[in-house]
A and B are shown apart, each in its own frame.
Chain A
Amino acid sequence: MPKQRFSSVAAAGAAVLLVLAGAAAHAAGDPRRGADVFATECAECHSVKAGKDKKGPSLFAVLGRPSAANPDFVYSDAMRTSGIVWTAERLDAYVTAPKRVMPGGKMKYDGLADAAERADLLAFLAAQH
């Protein structure tokens, strides 16, 4: 049935377009989706409230901040002496593979492989200030 075949091709095309559109949106990073990523991946250890430390330090206004800048939090030696400033690129790299960026660090997190989710997450963190 040619008509049906056509409609399935159209559907497939539409799906591809949707995926592309989605990818474009991801590249910019959607802070609303990023809030969900944060809730799933980070929130058990981090709060975005200023001064609220959990297992990890508060991530309020973390973007642009030097690492280990929270005087109330007990960081690892590796983090304290790293000299990292949390630019978007450094944060993205850290969240991708914490142990690689910070050998000897104490963030027990395996990393977030999905680039689109990281983009959303960074957009969310950028909005916390």
Chain B
Amino acid sequence: MKTLLHRIRIHRTRLAALFTLLALGLAAGDAAAVPSFARQTGQDCVACHIGAYGPQLTPYGIRFKLGAYTDSDGKDGKVPLSAMLLGGFTHTAKGQAEAPTDRTGTNNNLVLDQASLFVAGRANDYIGAFLQSTYTGADNTFALDNADVRMARTLDYGGTDVTVGLSVHNTPGMQDPFNTLPAWRFPYVSSSVAPEPVAAPLFDGGLEQHVTGLSAYTFINDSVYAELGTYRALPAGALDTLGLGRDSYPGKLDRSTAYWRLAYFQDLKKSAFSAGVFGFDTGIDPSGDGSGLSDGYRDLGIDAHYQFLGTREHIATVNASYIREHQSRDATFAAGGADNRSGQLNEFNLNASYTYDQTWGFTAGRFMIQGSRDATLYGDGSASGSPDSAGYVLQADWTPWGKEGSWNSPWANLRVGLQYTMYDRFNGARHNYDGNGSDASDNDTLYLFLWTSF
């Protein structure tokens, strides 16, 4: 349930101020996100994104990303800058026990979830970047968010295109071109002030923005995708400089930290699909100096997606992924943070969407987290020590622009959506999961959002 887009909270007055700025920007007709990619390529948002709004990629968008964001219409003078605002109203079935931040109440919060600036575009024919920094109102910070700089070349081997590339990025999995891995999967946005389950595999957001990864990939004949990479934790000082906070240092990552990925993809024009496997393996030494014990994580996943594209009037997609995580918790156990030296945590995600006329979108998703009990590790929130959570996410959205001939294209895009998250299990139980009488469904969340980029 962690998405990349849920870090930021801003008070109402700031919300108003930023929306005013946005309105001014639009009125000037001059705002430049990532419409900056649209401006660079001469393409409309729909070319790369299902339903005319990021981040769900079409086959064209998949190729653009793997081509290192370098494709262009051949004209100079494009400024690779974009901005994005995400704000919304969050209502939970029951008020939360404590207000999620000191600037919000326990329920019915209107907040600016995210205000981002992007440098997104090409440096030359082979190098391109997607860099996001995000303003957080709740703690009044400006921090580096998603960052991906890549270099790619496409070679022709007797008529077969072989793309080879390198990516330097700061969240494991964000470099993947499919919307099945945690970094870019549905729900693509979620409230920053809603309750969240206590557990998720490490690969699902556990290290986001706190590492530097280097991976090499190849995309052969538009069909076979393979990647190999490794990660290092950013030092505490660097995290501080980037606005993420010294205290968020995850510990030292083992030298053998590895990420691997293999996927098969087909673009049949009327439809497209992929199926793949991936793995993430690391040891984390919380002491940070390599002297202490480590916690080991071994994540193994499978994923698949299908898109019916047709004439693009009716688009349907299905995305699925399953991750099995094996944890060996030597460090946490020794420090008294867990009762068991090892454990299992598995995550299943499935969602299906329908988009009409690249404008009206409906998505239904199922998520399930299941793992072995540990009363100490999961004790903060789960009375039974079980990390199990499960539920559904339903979303309806409206994206009026981003298409050929749209108002202000390629300068602005907008999505308005209504999202409903329902839990049938939360932190181990349906009823009284925390020992204080809370039910899973108390956390059911209605999120009405306005998301714009320019």
Where the two chains meet, the residues of A that have a C-beta atom closer than 8 Å to any C-beta of B are: 36, 39-41, 43-45, 47, 49, 52-55, 74, 99, 108
The minimal Cβ–Cβ distance linking B445 to chain A, given in whole angstroms, is 35
A53 engages B42 (CB within 8 Å):
yes
B98 at the interface (CB under 8 A from A): no
- 25 A-B contacts (beta carbon < 8 Å): A36-B311, A39-B311, A39-B312, A39-B313, A40-B309, A40-B310, A44-B46, A44-B58, A44-B60, A45-B43, A45-B47, A49-B405, A52-B404, A53-B73, A54-B42, A54-B43, A54-B44, A54-B47, A54-B404, A55-B43, A55-B47, A55-B71, A55-B73, A74-B75, A108-B63
Pick the contact of A55: B41, B404, B405 (CB < 8 A): B41
Chain A residues within 8 Å of B312, by CB: 39-40, 43
Q: Scoring B residues 351 to 394 as 1 if CB is less than 8 Å from chain A, else 0, what string do you get?
A: 00000000000000000000000000000000000000000000
Chain A residues within 8 Å of B309, by CB: 40
A122–B405 Cα distance when bound, in Å, is 23
Dominant secondary structure of chain A at its interface with chain B: loop
CB nearest to B58 among chain A residues: A44
A44 engages B43 (CB within 8 Å):
yes
B437 at the interface (CB under 8 A from A): no
Q: Scoring B residues 65 to 97 as 1 if CB is less than 8 Å from chain A, else 0, what string do you get?
A: 000000101110000000000000000000000
A74 engages B311 (CB within 8 Å):
no
CB nearest to A110 among chain B residues: B222
Chain B residues within 8 Å of A108, by CB: 63
Where the two chains meet, the residues of B that have a C-beta atom closer than 8 Å to any C-beta of A are: 41-44, 46-47, 58, 60, 63, 71, 73-75, 159, 269-270, 309-313, 404-405
Number of A-B contacts (CB under 8 A): 45
A122–B325 Cα distance when bound, in Å, is 54
Dominant secondary structure of chain B at its interface with chain A: loop
Chain A residues within 8 Å of B58, by CB: 44
Chain B residues within 8 Å of A45, by CB: 43, 47
A36–B159 Cα distance when bound, in Å, is 29
A53–B42 Cα distance when bound, in Å, is 7
* Given A39-B312, A54-B41, A54-B47: 18 more A-B contacts, CB < 8 Å: A39-B311, A40-B309, A41-B269, A44-B47, A45-B47, A47-B404, A49-B405, A52-B404, A54-B73, A54-B404, A55-B41, A55-B43, A55-B47, A55-B71, A74-B73, A74-B74, A74-B75, A99-B159
Chain B residues within 8 Å of A74, by CB: 73-75
The minimal Cβ–Cβ distance linking A100 to chain B, given in whole angstroms, is 10
A99–B42 Cα distance when bound, in Å, is 22
Chain B residues within 8 Å of A44, by CB: 43, 46-47, 58, 60
A53–B405 Cα distance when bound, in Å, is 11
Chain A residues within 8 Å of B47, by CB: 44-45, 54-55
B269 engages A55 (CB within 8 Å):
no
The minimal Cβ–Cβ distance linking A42 to chain B, given in whole angstroms, is 10
User: Taking each of A45, A47, A54, A55, which has the highest tally of chain B beta carbons within 10 Å of its own beta carbon?
Assistant: A55
Chain A residues within 8 Å of B71, by CB: 55
CB nearest to A36 among chain B residues: B311
The minimal Cβ–Cβ distance linking B222 to chain A, given in whole angstroms, is 8
Q: Name the 5 nearest CB pairs between A and B, nearest first.
A: A74-B74, A39-B311, A44-B47, A36-B311, A54-B42
A44–B48 Cα distance when bound, in Å, is 9
CB nearest to B63 among chain A residues: A108
Chain B residues within 8 Å of A55, by CB: 41-43, 47, 71, 73
B73 engages A40 (CB within 8 Å):
no
Chain A residues within 8 Å of B311, by CB: 36, 39-40
A55–B67 Cα distance when bound, in Å, is 15
The minimal Cβ–Cβ distance linking A96 to chain B, given in whole angstroms, is 14
A36–B63 Cα distance when bound, in Å, is 23
Chain B residues within 8 Å of A49, by CB: 404-405
CB nearest to A37 among chain B residues: B311
The minimal Cβ–Cβ distance linking A5 to chain B, given in whole angstroms, is 36
A40 engages B41 (CB within 8 Å):
no
A78–B300 Cα distance when bound, in Å, is 47
CB nearest to B38 among chain A residues: A54
CB nearest to B159 among chain A residues: A99
Chain A residues within 8 Å of B63, by CB: 108
Chain B residues within 8 Å of A40, by CB: 269-270, 309-312
Chain A residues within 8 Å of B310, by CB: 40
A66–B75 Cα distance when bound, in Å, is 22
Chain B residues within 8 Å of A41, by CB: 269
The minimal Cβ–Cβ distance linking B189 to chain A, given in whole angstroms, is 25
Chain B residues within 8 Å of A36, by CB: 311
CB nearest to A35 among chain B residues: B311
Chain A residues within 8 Å of B60, by CB: 44
Chain B residues within 8 Å of A52, by CB: 404-405
Chain A residues within 8 Å of B270, by CB: 40
